[in-house]
A and B are shown apart, each in its own frame.
Chain A
Amino acid sequence: MIRADDLRKVYRVNVKKTGLKGAFENLFRSEWIEKNAVDGISFHMKEGGALACIGENGAGKSTLIKMMIGILTPTAGDVRVFGQNPREGGRKYLREIGVVFGQKSNLWTDIPVIESYQAVKTLYRLDERQFRQNFDKITQLLSLEQILPVPARKLSLGQRMRADIGMVFLHGPRLLFLDEPTIGLDINVKHTIRTFLRKMNQEEGTGIFLTSHDLDDIDEICDDTIVLSKGKLIYDGTLENLKHRFVRDRMIQVVGEKSGDIHALLPGASVTKEGRITKIVYPIGEYTSAQVLEAVSRCFNIEDITIQEPDIDDVVSRIFGGEERV
Chain B
Amino acid sequence: MLAIIKIFLKMKEQYIKTEMEYTANFWMMLLSGVVTRIVSMAAPFVIYSNIPDIAGWKRDEIYLIMSFLFIAEGLCSVLFQGIWEMPGMVFHGRFDCILSRPVSPLFQVLSYGMGLQGISVFLTGAVCLPLFLGRLELLSVRSAFMSLFYIVCGTVLCMSIYLLGNSVVFWFDAGGKTALPFTMSSIGQYARYPLALYPKAVRILLLFLIPYGFICVVPVEILRGSVSFLWCVLPAVVSLGFFLLARAVFYRGIRHYESMGM
Contact = CB atoms under 8 A, between A and B. Distances in A.
Interface of A: 9, 11-12, 37, 63, 66, 69-73, 91-95, 97, 99, 101, 103-104, 106, 108, 110-111, 115, 119, 122-125, 151
Interface string B8-44: 0011001101100100000000000000000000000
Given A11-B260, A72-B259, A91-B103, A99 B11 contact: no
Given A110-B18, A124-B102, A151-B18, 4 more contacts: A69-B100, A104-B94, A119-B10, A151-B21
B96 interface: yes
A94 B7 CA distance: 19
B156 to A, nearest CB: 23
B259 A71 contact: no
12 contacts: A66-B96, A70-B100, A72-B261, A94-B101, A99-B96, A99-B100, A111-B18, A115-B14, A119-B14, A123-B7, A123-B101, A123-B103
A124 B100 CA distance: 12
B100 A73 contact: no
Contacts of A123: 7, 101-103
Closest 6 A-B residue pairs measured CB to CB?
A: A94-B102, A91-B102, A110-B18, A99-B100, A95-B102, A71-B99
Interface of B: 3, 7, 10-11, 14-15, 17-18, 21, 92-94, 96-97, 99-103, 258-261
Contacts of B261: 9, 11, 37, 63, 66, 71-72
B93 A104 contact: yes
Main secondary structure of the interface of A (DSSP, over half): mixed
Contacts of A66: 96, 261
Contacts of B11: 119, 122
Contacts of A63: 261
Contacts of A95: 102
Nearest to B94: A104
Contacts of A151: 18, 21
Contacts of B92: 104
A93 B99 CA distance: 12
Contacts of B21: 151
A71 B258 contact: yes
A70 B100 CA distance: 8
A118 to B, nearest CB: 8
Contacts of A71: 96, 99-100, 258, 261
Main secondary structure of the interface of B (DSSP, over half): helix
B96 A101 contact: yes
Nearest to A97: B100
A159 to B, nearest CB: 18
B258 A72 contact: yes
B91 to A, nearest CB: 12
Contacts of A115: 14, 17
Contacts of B94: 104
Nearest to A92: B102
A111 B17 contact: yes
A93 B100 CA distance: 10
B72 to A, nearest CB: 26
B15 A110 contact: yes
Contacts of B18: 110-111, 151
A73 B258 contact: yes
Contacts of A72: 258-259, 261
Nearest to B10: A122
A66 B262 CA distance: 11
Given A111-B14, A111-B15, A123-B7, A94 B100 contact: yes
A119 B10 CA distance: 8
Contacts of A9: 261
B144 to A, nearest CB: 34
Contacts of A11: 260-261
A108 B93 CA distance: 14
Contacts of A111: 14-15, 17-18
Contact of B7 (A70, A73, A122): A122
Nearest to B93: A104
B131 to A, nearest CB: 35
A36 B97 CA distance: 24
Nearest to A120: B101
B15 to A, nearest CB: 7
A92 B101 CA distance: 10
A104 B96 contact: yes
A101 B14 CA distance: 24
